Amino acid sequence: MASSFSAVPVYGSSISVRLPCKASRCKNHLVCSASGPGAAVTEAVSQLTSGPADLSQEAVRTLTDLHGDSLHELCQAAASLRDEAHQFVTFSPKVFTPLTRLCRDACGYCTFAQPPVPGRRSYMTMEEVLQVASLGAQQGCAEILFTLGDKPEQLYPEARQELRALGYESTLEYAADAAGTVMRETGLLPHINAGTMGLAEVKALRTVSAGQGLMLETSSRRLMLPGMPHHKCPDKDPDLRLLTIEAAGQAAVPYTSGLLIGIGETREERIQSLLDLRALDNQYGHIQELIIQNFVPKKNTAMAHATEPPFEEMLWTIAITRLLFGPSMNIQAPPNLTPGPDGGEAGWRALSLAGANDFGGISPVTKDYVNPEKPWPHLHSLAAATAAAGKALVPRLTVYPEVVRAADRWLDSSAGRSSPFAATLRQADGSGYARASPWCPGMASAEDSSAAAESAGPPLERIVLASSMSREESSAVPEEHAHSSPPAPATESDQHSSIPVPRAKRGPRRWQVELGADGLLLGACRPPASQQIKELVSAVLEDERQLTEDDIMTLFSARGADFDAVCEAADTLRERLCGNVVRYAVNRNINYTNRCTYACGFCAFSKGRIAEELRGAPYLLPYAEIARRTREAWSRGASETCMQGGIHPEFTGETYLRLLEAAKAGAPDIHVHAFSPLEVTEGARTLGWSLRKYLMALKDAGLGSLPGTAAEVLDDETRAIICPDKLNTAQWLEVIETAHNVGLNTTATIMFGHVDGPRNWARHLIAIRDLQQRTGGITEFVPLPFVHMEAPIYLKGRARKGPTLHECFLMHAVARLTLQQALPNIQASWVKMGPERAAALMRAGCNDMGGSIMNESITKAAGAKHGQELPPERMEELILAAGRISQQRTTNYTAPPAEQTAKSYGAPPLEPVVNLVLRFPDRGQAKMLA
Ligand code: SF4
């Protein structure tokens, strides 16, 4: 692509100072007047933002003349545009891996590229790559960036020989294998910068990476002339680079590109380079980030004595990039290269105020091999700078949230659970950012008690950023690995390596990627709560607002002070509606069969023909066993039995009536809380009855209430993925509303944290609120975090690892603020959260701890470590430690009979349970119940 501008000096001398418009606001808050230079700027900016393929010569001239106050105004306009789409400033905790420093190019500013050195290897070995990657994974990195020179084997025979010895024909082939190996073995997401490539090569790397990148640097061919930095650099031909970036668009690769500024290009040429990139992005939509990087002169290079570009050039380029690409583009400035005496916090703040929203990769393990003399900034300093610019600093993945949310389009999933798609979901939260914690629902943790001990203030706890490791693995990491000390010097064994391989080192702590449950870096500066969140929560507390879908999504995005404000408001509303009493029921779960004809992707409990032997055998409980378990529950002080099961192919509506009868035979006065809306639907269907008629029959037979399970997420977009053959949203709501209409109360649940996100959660909460406002029949709302460990959809690589701790707190708090007085009971599930964390949720709007649950099998089947009875003594200890008053309740929130409560303390151990193991085919199995 040819440049349409003539070359002019980079740093023009015309400085124009313009005053902000007072009379009328121009589109981008830029200077504006009826005539004169202000109008010209407005027109030029308008051309930038309106998206034509090219700009007029006059607009280009006007923009390149901006300096001083005018540039300040341009930056303000850019930052304002950025704020329309970016709530946070992000960075990517990563490992830098220079697979080889050989390169067939010889750019005038580069010290990365090095020729072969006799007696030294030129490529990292796979063991070295894995060693660095593992160290990064242990320290909280989510990304591995492969940086390598361009096709060195085409220049150096030594490279060809070494590659052959390693078993590869080309550097790209080796890079692909190394990326795939790291992804499989450490869980880090590879991002590959492998130079210029054709479509086939880009596609091959797509199968082993989450993203790829190539800095355009400039689209000016002038820089390839003799005496210029790209002379004799075949891969710096801008046409070739643009073709590579286009190939990435054709292959749907989330792509990183950008400009290197100050290498002799003009401002006009920068605008043209950005227009060339924008043309490709307009066509393919694949450019996820643009890096604006400043040239830094280095010793022993052709440009060792060239002048570093003034900081103003960075600000100008970032602002122009923002205005050209609009609010959503991710614009990155490398923070370790921030130039000049005003670098550091003042510089980072200025970069942020010019429209940047990302600080790129920062490593606790490796240095910046391209600029080895420039150390990474301390994360807390960076967070302070972004807070001063009004933004929280948040870790991200190698792909940005918008890519994660559209992962089906952008990430390769052909290798199932070993694919970049699956690896990305494992590292992501529901909004598409890096998971804030290795904690997952259902996971046992030695830290539970220490978290609960932090009873004052917001629910923070110390957790290390997610990696592929489990908490158990994470806690096994030696202390010195948890610090971001600089790598230790090379040891004797490194002496033949291509680079000194970083090793864990004992030493003073510099910084650590460690987040609180509020989603922000622990101990780091944070901006104050936003006006938007403050207004939303105060409107709720003043009873002036019913939250909309967008309001709810805003609440779900809260981090830092915003998160605190949401949790505090929920806690205030809880106190107002429920006082300080936390209730729980003494109950027993009875799951009469795990045989099921449905195939819900999240369900590890059910046994169909395909999964006959998976995760244990299919079973059925005889009626006598149901009666025995109910009798035993009553004798141990229970007031409720909760009965649900799989959809056995031989069950009919009559079966459910018989199950009810069996429970009542065991304990006539027990409250039977039974049958999910799916079971009710199946029961009615098999008898050919209406829902109403069947529900009335169940009620007449002694049914006390219905569990509001099978709701999953009440948004058909999500249901189509996780349970396509199950009830849809409207059908679930119909069963629940019909139950209410015949006088049966229900609960309502949400099972969240798999493929869903804040929009789906908002729709769910609104559906529940609307129904409750019509009927008032829901006794409590129960968020059920998805337990991923054994869930089929997770094992296939199609779901996340459940909600993060941050999301769990928010789900309970936002539910409180959404449901308000319509539904005053918000329950924490200790089975999913763990007892201590469930108690901690009492500070985020909850007022109920659910049931003591004498037997739990559904969540345990999914891999949870909790679930086998929380007796009243322990329940009350937890509630007391949370600063609340405990009280037993019945299913319908009345006081249980005094004799039941008395029996519930010091109850004897449960008798062993009896399950009838089934074999397929199913014929005659229902008879086994009798
Ligand atoms: S969630 Fe229920 S309906 Fe779905 S597979 Fe599991 S047991 Fe069957």
| Alpha carbons 614 and 607: distance in angstroms, whole number | 8
Residue 745 lies in a domain: yes
Could you tell me the distance, in angstroms and rounded to a whole number, from the CA of residue 775 to the centre of ligand 1? 27
Could you tell me the distance, in angstroms and rounded to a whole number, from the CA of residue 601 to the centre of ligand 1? 9
Candidates 570, 479, 451, 459; CA nearest to 824 is 570
Residue 157 lies in a domain: no
751 Cβ closer than 6 Å to some ligand 1 atom: no
| Mode of pairing for the β-strands spanning 463-464 and 514-515 | antiparallel
Could you tell me the distance, in angstroms and rounded to a whole number, from the CA of residue 210 to the centre of ligand 1? 33
Beta bridge partners of 916: 620
Residue 673 lies in a domain: yes
791 Cβ closer than 6 Å to some ligand 1 atom: no
Candidates 206, 320, 203, 308; CA nearest to 272 is 320
List, in sequence order, the alpha helices (H) in 146-230.
Answer: 157-166, 171-186, 199-206
The pLDDT value recorded for residue 487 is 42
Residue 164 lies in a domain: no
Side-chain-side CA neighbours of residue 722 (13 Å): 28
Nearest CA to ligand 1 atom 3: 598
For 54-95, how does the pLDDT look when each residue is reduced to its tens digit (9 = 90+)? Answer: 788 888 899 999 998 889 999 999 999 999 999 999 999 999
Q: Which residue among 609, 612, 678 has the greatest number of ligand 1 atoms within 8 angstroms of its CB, and so is best to mutate?
A: 678
**Domain region containing 87:** 79-91+214-427
Please state the rounded mean pLDDT for residues 413-442: 93
Residue 825 tokens read as: 């009971």
Beta bridge partners of 463: 515
596 Cβ closer than 6 Å to some ligand 1 atom: yes
Exposure letters 60-92 (e unless 16+ CB within 10 A, then b) = bbbbbbbbeebbbbbbbbbbebbeeebbbbbbb
598 Cβ closer than 6 Å to some ligand 1 atom: yes
Nearest CA to ligand 1 atom 2: 646
Could you tell me the distance, in angstroms and rounded to a whole number, from the CA of residue 647 to the centre of ligand 1? 7
For 656-677, how does the pLDDT look when each residue is reduced to its tens digit (9 = 90+)? Answer: 999 999 999 999 999 999 999 9
601 Cβ closer than 6 Å to some ligand 1 atom: no
373: domain CATH number?
3.20.20.70
Q: Which residue among 589, 620, 647 has the greatest number of ligand 1 atoms within 8 angstroms of its CB, and so is best to mutate?
A: 647
Candidates 271, 318, 329, 274; CA nearest to 294 is 318
446 versus 477: the higher-pLDDT residue is 446
Q: pLDDT-based confidence at 106, cuts 50/70/90?
A: confident
600 Cβ closer than 6 Å to some ligand 1 atom: yes
Residue 468 lies in a domain: no
Hey, what's the torsion of the CAs at 606, 612, 614, 616, to 10 degrees? 80
CB 251 within 8 A of CB 206: yes
Could you tell me the distance, in angstroms and rounded to a whole number, from the CA of residue 768 to the centre of ligand 1? 21
Count of the separate structural domains present in the chain: 2
Is cis: bond before 912, omega within 30 of 0? no
Lowest mean pLDDT among 443-457, 535-549, 559-573: 443-457
879 versus 489: the higher-pLDDT residue is 879
- Among 427, 450, 481, the domain boundary falls at 427
The pLDDT value recorded for residue 465 is 28
Residue 513 tokens read as: 């990627």
Residue 340 lies in a domain: yes
Is pLDDT of 624 > 80? yes
Lowest mean pLDDT among 468-472, 732-736, 857-861: 468-472
Is pLDDT of 290 > 60? yes
| Alpha carbons 471 and 473: distance in angstroms, whole number | 5
Tell me the residue ranges of DSSP E strands in 295-408: 330-332, 358-362, 392-395
* DSSP designation for 440: -
Cut 0.85: pTM above it: yes
* Nearest atom in ligand 1 to 602's CA: 1
For 114-151, how does the pLDDT look when each residue is reduced to its tens digit (9 = 90+)? Answer: 999 998 999 999 999 999 999 888 888 999 999 988 89
User: What does the H/E/C string look like for 736-749?
Assistant: HHHHHHCCCEEEEE
Could you tell me the distance, in angstroms and rounded to a whole number, from the CA of residue 282 to the centre of ligand 1? 44
Tell me the residue ranges of DSSP E strands in 201-283: 211-213, 255-261
Q: Tell me the percentage of the chain whose pLDDT exceeds 90.
A: 72
Instruction: With both helix axes pointing from N to C terminus, report the angle between 267-284 and 238-250 in degrees, rounded to the nearest 10.
Output: 20
| Alpha carbons 93 and 135: distance in angstroms, whole number | 12
606 Cβ closer than 6 Å to some ligand 1 atom: yes
Please state the rounded mean pLDDT for residues 289-294: 97
The pLDDT value recorded for residue 612 is 55
Candidates 303, 375, 311, 371; CA nearest to 343 is 311
- Main-chain phi, psi angles of 738, to 5 degrees: -65, -40
Residue 330 tokens read as: 């991710």
41 Cβ closer than 6 Å to some ligand 1 atom: no
Q: pLDDT-based confidence at 863, cuts 50/70/90?
A: confident
Q: Which residue among 589, 591, 595, 596 has the greatest number of ligand 1 atoms within 8 angstroms of its CB, and so is best to mutate?
A: 596
Residue 25 lies in a domain: no
Residue 230 lies in a domain: yes
Could you tell me the distance, in angstroms and rounded to a whole number, from the CA of residue 701 to the centre of ligand 1? 25
Instruction: State the distance between the two ends of the chain, measured CA to CA, in whole angstroms.
Output: 80
Is pLDDT of 922 > 90? no
Could you tell me the distance, in angstroms and rounded to a whole number, from the CA of residue 598 to the centre of ligand 1? 6
CB 644 within 8 A of CB 675: yes
- Among 427, 449, 475, the domain boundary falls at 427
* Nearest atom in ligand 1 to 646's CA: 7
The pLDDT value recorded for residue 287 is 98
656 Cβ closer than 6 Å to some ligand 1 atom: no
Residue 111 tokens read as: 């010290």
- Among 398, 427, 456, the domain boundary falls at 427
As to burial, measured by CB atoms within 10 angstroms (0-12 exposed, 13-18 middle, 19+ buried), residue 901 is: middle
Could you tell me the distance, in angstroms and rounded to a whole number, from the CA of residue 857 to the centre of ligand 1? 13
Please state the rounded mean pLDDT for residues 784-810: 96
Mean per-residue pLDDT over the chain, rounded: 87
337 versus 914: the higher-pLDDT residue is 337
